Amino acid sequence: MKRLRTVEGGQWTVDARRRVEVRRTAFVGLLLASVCLAGCRDTQAPKTGATASGVDPNADQVVFTSRTMITDGGLRRAEVMSDTALFYDDNTRMDMRNVHAIFYSATGATDAVLTSRTGRYLTRDNVLEARGSVVINTVDGRRLTTEQIKFDSRVNQISSDSAFVLTEEGREASGVGFVSDPDMNNLRILKGSRAKARDVKVPGA
């Protein structure tokens, strides 16, 4: 291949300039073609929150990472959080996924903490329903497991018609259905009541 000749002053010859211009034009054309191909290849519409998460398109409103306060007569009864909340019936029904709720006493102190797979809050009635692997842990060590509970903030009461197990230090109670306050201090078993002592581990024994 011939070397590019130069003349005085270091200027390229006419032939050398033409070769460079041809190469430059070809490079620009190749670059533009690559950009066009890349743009044509990505023809799929971007995923939205609804399509990515499988959210019901019939919901009036969808809120991710929701936080809701349940009050009665100006008194805070519970705080409910969820990964996803879907609103229906003119925003009077709230269906939630991966629920985490905190129950409060009349003085504002935490009574218990609830977790469940799903939940429903009826804003007109101030009633919260939790379903699926429901667990309630009280601040003083009681633990209740069931598949469904209902919390009525108007009377500050939780209830269930499902089988449940309540455990605390040295004791275990079970049955089908119950009525109680959120901190499980006054629990009434509706049927199938059973109770048994549990082994208590003594430190150092």
Q: What is the pLDDT of residues 121-177, one digit of tens each?
A: 999 999 999 999 999 999 999 999 999 999 999 999 999 999 999 999 889 999 999
Q: Do 167 and 108 fall within a single domain?
A: yes
Q: Do 27 and 109 fall within a single domain?
A: no
Q: What percent of the chain has pLDDT over 70?
A: 70
pLDDT single digits (tens) 6-26: 444 444 444 545 554 555 555
Q: Do 97 and 26 fall within a single domain?
A: no
Structural domain of 138: 57-197
Q: Do 15 and 64 fall within a single domain?
A: no
Q: Which tokens belong to 92? A: 């009077």
pLDDT grade for 197, boundaries at 50, 70 and 90:
confident
Q: Do 96 and 187 fall within a single domain?
A: yes
Q: Which tokens belong to 196? A: 């048994």
Q: Is 145 exposed, middle or buried (0-12, 13-18, 19+ CB in 10 A)?
A: middle
Q: How far apart are CA 147 and CA 129, in angstroms?
A: 11
pTM (two decimals): 0.69
Q: Is residue 3 part of a domain?
A: no
b/e sequence 84-115, b meaning 16+ C-beta within 10 Å: bbbbeeeeebbbbbebbbbbbbeeeeebbebb
How many domains does the chain fold into? 2
pLDDT single digits (tens) 65-102: 999 999 988 889 999 999 999 999 999 999 999 999 99
Q: Do 135 and 165 fall within a single domain?
A: yes
Q: Do 28 and 111 fall within a single domain?
A: no
Nearest to 137 by CA among 169, 111, 117, 162: 111
Q: Is residue 124 part of a domain?
A: yes
Amino acid found at 99: V
pLDDT grade for 43, boundaries at 50, 70 and 90:
very low
Q: Do 67 and 27 fall within a single domain?
A: no
Task: Give Cβ neighbours of residue 76 (< 8 Å, ≥ 6 apart).
Answer: 69, 70, 104, 108
Q: Do 22 and 102 fall within a single domain?
A: no
Q: Is residue 48 part of a domain?
A: no
